[in-house]
Structure 1
Amino acid sequence: MADLIHARWRKSTRSSSNGGNCVEVADNLLDIVAVRDSKNPAGPALTFSPAAWRAFIAQLAERA
C-alpha cells in the first residue's frame, strides 16, 4: 500500500465549488499518482505509475 501522507490533492479547475462528483489527484509523489473520490477523502485511493497515468490522460485528451 502506498504512503500518501505527503500527497497534495487537487481537483480540476473545472470542478464546481459545491463538491459535486469529482476526483482528486495527487501527482506530487515520487513513484505514484494517486486518485480519490473528493466526497470521501478518507476513503481508499487508486494508485498508478506515472507512465500509466500519462497514458490514461493522453487517451482522455484524444477522445475530447
Structure 2
Amino acid sequence: MNAFEKVHQQPSLTHKEQKKFSSMLIKKHERESIDILQKYEIDCNELLKGGHCPAYLAIPGEII
C-alpha cells in the first residue's frame, strides 16, 4: 500500500454521487473554440498535407 492509499482509505463520494458528478461535468462541458494555427502563428502553407506512409517512410503530397 502506497502513501496515497494509506491516507485515502475511504471514498469521499458515494457511487451515486460520483455518477451524478460525472453526468453534470459531461452536461456542462463546452469545447474551447480556438484557432490553433493562429495561436502558434502557423501559416496554412506550412502544413504537410497527406498521410504518413510507413512502408516508404515519407509523407506524400496532396491527396486527390
The TM-score bracket by the shorter chain reads: under 0.3
Larger relative strand fraction: 1
Q: Which protein has the larger Cα radius of gyration, Structure 1 or Structure 2?
A: 2
Larger relative helix fraction: 2
Q: What is the TM-score when the length of structure 2 is the normalising length?
A: 0.25
Q: What is the TM-score when the length of structure 1 is the normalising length?
A: 0.25
